[in-house]
Amino acid sequence: MEDLNPLKRKQKVVATIDLPGVPEGTEGKVCVANGIEWFRYWVDFDNGTKLGRVDHKNIVKVEDWEQFQVDRANAENEPDETEETVTEEISSETVSSGGNEHGIPEHLLERSRAARERLGA
């Protein structure tokens, strides 16, 4: 969904989220583009708002706006792994690796039991 190529000056863009003073879907033009690993921009939006330090993931090229919306809707409709599924996977991995439901390996639990017995606790 996210384009990893940096945008250039004077490129027409659209806000993908609500930004301060800029509703989602507002068009604008990149005034300054900077960054090496984290791309950020100064954008002059059509509603008169000028924002600096707009993150790359918060704007897309005007020509990519429709596809961005389709991709975002598809991503929202895809089933995510629920907590139950993740918990089941973790507990099955833990049990198969000799641990318990808390993820503590059985040999460590046995070591603790032995130490308590030695100390009379």
The separation between the first and the last C-alpha atoms of the chain, rounded to the nearest angstrom, is 58
pLDDT at 67: 94
The full DSSP string for the chain is ----SPP-TT-EEEESS-BTTB-TT-EEEEEEEE-SSS-EEEEEETTS-EEEEEEGGGEEEGGGHHHHHHHHHHHHHSPPPPHHHHHHHHHHHHHHTTB-TTS-BHHHHHHHHHHHHHHT-
pLDDT at 12: 97
Task: Tally Cβ neighbours within 10 Å of residue 31.
Answer: 14
pLDDT tens, position by position, 49-108: 999 989 999 999 999 999 999 999 998 887 765 555 655 665 555 555 555 677 788 888
Q: At 1, is the pLDDT very low, low, confident or very high (cuts 50, 70, 90)? A: very low
Instruction: Decide: pTM greater than 0.75.
Output: no
Task: Tally Cβ neighbours within 10 Å of residue 115.
Answer: 10
What value, to the nearest 5°, has the Cα angle with vertex 42 and ends 12 and 53? 125
pLDDT tens, position by position, 7-47: 999 999 999 999 999 999 999 999 999 988 889 999 999 99
Domain boundaries, the chain: 12-77, 83-119
